[in-house]
Amino acid sequence: MLRRGQLAPEFALRDQDNQLVSLAELLSNGPLVLFFYPGDFTPLCTREACMLRDFHSELQQLGIRVVGISPDKPEKHDAFRTKHALPYTLLADPEKDIAYLYGAEGPMGIGIRRATYLIGQNGYIEDALVADLRISRHEAFVQKVIATAHAASPASA
């Protein structure tokens, strides 16, 4: 797992619309909450995706983008996004190459771990969490990101 202060590895992956998206492009307008999850339509992944959907507008107002990565193909991401009204981008990492670079691969390379990163616009990891089965820890992570962004915004000074 990457740690605070490390440079986030660059990548380019296909999104739910089969468009190539790079990390540099994602960071062009501000910081990024990047989350890795095992797969679309599984109970815990659906819960996590919907939790992030519910925080999305507040994160967006703070200039923070949300993007999810799993091994699923773009077509499955598109169906998952549509079914659950997910307003953010989902990226396909079918070979798990990017999950590996970010330390989100499962034990012995099997599966994907549930990992969430806050990446600053400068490309460096600002915070990170791995909590495979505890969605509540990911929710607390997002709430902390929001609280920190509110405290740092000029309007709160």
pLDDT at 157: 47
Domain ranges of the chain: 12-144
Cross-sheet strand order for the sheet of 65-70: 20-22, 12-15, 89-92, 65-70, 32-36, 115-119, 125-130
pLDDT at 108: 77
Catalytic residues: 45
pLDDT at 156: 52
Give the chain's mean pLDDT: 95
Mean pLDDT (10-residue bins), the chain, 157 residues: 96 98 97 97 96 98 97 98 98 96 88 95 97 90 95 69
Identify the CA nearest to 99 among candidates 108, 109, 86, 90.
109
8 A C-beta contact, residue 113 and residue 105: yes
Q: Is the pTM of this model over 0.85?
A: yes
Q: In the CATH scheme, what is the code of domain 12-144? A: 3.40.30.10
